[in-house]
Amino acid sequence: MLIHVINPNASREMTEQIAIAAREGAGPNSRIEVSGGQATPVSIEGYADEALAVPAMLNAIHAVDQRGAAAHVIACFDDPGLSAAREVAGAPVVGTCQAAVQFAMTVAVRFSVVTTLPRSVPIIEDLVSAYGAGRHCRGVHAVNLPVLAFETDEGTARAKLLHAVRAAQKADNVDAVVLGCAGMTSLTRWLSAECGIPVIDGVTAAVRMAEALAASGYRTSKTGGYATPIQKAGGFERMAS
């Protein structure tokens, strides 16, 4: 089955890293197709970046959906445009934050999230609450590094991330930590081994959730809020054509 994973930003390096994580985490019956953002910000750090990235992402999801994708994964922890993507796709669309939160609540009673910049903290707090995990999430912490630092200064990023995970583990008294950026995927197993608790990567979690939905035969409901967009001048159908 075809699982489409999209990195909404335009960083080729991050797209390649996401592709590695998605393919390593996928089951043997899945074919992973990874796409990156076109003419979008090179990183998504805030609401404006999200808004700029969504139109191209919707076009890409719609195009791959028309080719028979079994499911889609939005590989950005802010889950940008998730509801809109579910409108334009018939196959299930899974966000990395939502998937990671569901995994965390399954393997641990309490968890925290470690992300990149402080400006991402309120975005993630709101998402966690919307996904019904507010009681389980004991904190969202920022390492105060931009997303692209995980490509350009890996040594510093690794050290600061390890410190932040250990600090969250101690201060919040949590049983698991979720990594709040798709650019952190390559460090998941190392962090789990160093800290002795589950450290959850949203890309792997989302791919596995997407596979489960697709293998179970589920499709996105088109009778309510996720109904296909109404065709109109200047609407999605015109934009995507």
User: Looking at residue 169, which CATH number applies to its domain?
Assistant: 3.40.50.12500
Could you give the C-alpha distances from 131 to 27, 47, 71, in angstroms and in order? 26, 19, 20
Per-residue pLDDT tens digits for 3-16: 999 999 999 999 99
- Verify that 79 and 151 share a domain, yes or no: no
The CA-to-CA distance between both ends of the chain, in Å, stands at 26
Model confidence over 63-109: pLDDT tens digits? 999 999 999 999 999 999 999 999 999 999 999 999 999 999 999 99
Beta bridge mates, 111: 137, 176
**What pLDDT score does 154 carry?**
77
The answer to whether residues 77 and 155 belong to one domain is: no
Note the pLDDT of residue 233.
81
Which amino acid does the sequence have at 62? H
Determine the structural domain holding residue 78 and report its residue range: 2-95+205-240
In this structure, are residues 188 and 200 in contact, taking their beta carbons and an 8 Å threshold?
yes
Instruction: Give the C-alpha separation, 28 to 43, whole Å.
Output: 31
Are residues 141 and 59 both part of a single domain?
no
> Do 157 and 119 sit in the same domain of this protein?
yes
Phi, psi of 235 (to 5 degrees): -85, -170
On whether the CB atoms of residues 73 and 5 are closer than 8 A, the answer is: yes
The answer to whether residues 56 and 152 belong to one domain is no
With beta carbons less than 8 A apart as the criterion, state whether 63 and 91 touch: no
For position 238, what pLDDT does the model report?
46
CA 200 to centroid of chain Cα atoms: 11
126 with 195, same domain? yes
Query: 182 falls in which pLDDT band (50, 70, 90)?
Result: confident
Q: Is residue 185 domain-shared with residue 163, that is, in the same domain? A: yes
Percent of the chain with pLDDT over 70: 98
What's the CA angle centered on 185, arms 169 and 85, to 5 degrees? 110
Same domain membership, residue 105 and residue 91 = no
Q: Which two tokens stand for residue 64?
A: 């791959």
pTM above threshold 0.85: yes
- Predicted local distance difference test score (pLDDT) of residue 241: 42
One domain for residues 181 and 146: yes
Together in a domain, 72 and 13: yes
Neighbours of 152 (CB within 10 A): 10
pLDDT tens, 227-236?
999 888 877 7
Amino acid identity of residue 103, one-letter, is F
Please give the single-letter amino acid code of residue 204.
T
